[in-house]
Amino acid sequence: MCKVFENNEEKVTKFFHCDDCGICRVGPKNDYFHCKNCGACLSISVKDTHKCIKDVFMNDCPVCYESIFYSNIVI
C-alpha cells in the first residue's frame, strides 16, 4: 500500500492505512473511523456527534489555507 519510511519501529506501528481515504494515517487504527459522507477518518470520540458535511475535508482550512485532508495536525 503506502510506503512509510521510518527507522523507528515504535513510530511505524502508529500508522494505519485507510482503504477509503487511500492514504496512511497517523495514530492507532482503533481510535479512528472512516465517515463515508465526510470522506475522512475521524476520532472515535466524535463518531456520534460530528456534523457530517459531504466531502468537507477536501477543502483547505479557511484560516491557515493548508489542506485539511492531508494534514497530520489534529483539527
Q: What is the pLDDT of residues 7-50, one digit of tens each?
A: 666 665 678 888 898 888 888 889 999 999 988 888 999 999 99
pLDDT, residue 64, reads 86
Beta bridge partners, 17, equal 24
Domain ranges of the chain: 9-58
Classify residue 23 by burial, with Cβ atoms within 10 Å: 0-12, 13-18, 19+.
middle
pLDDT, residue 6, reads 64
pLDDT beyond 90 at 75: no
**Is pTM, for the whole model, over 0.75?**
no
pLDDT, residue 56, reads 82
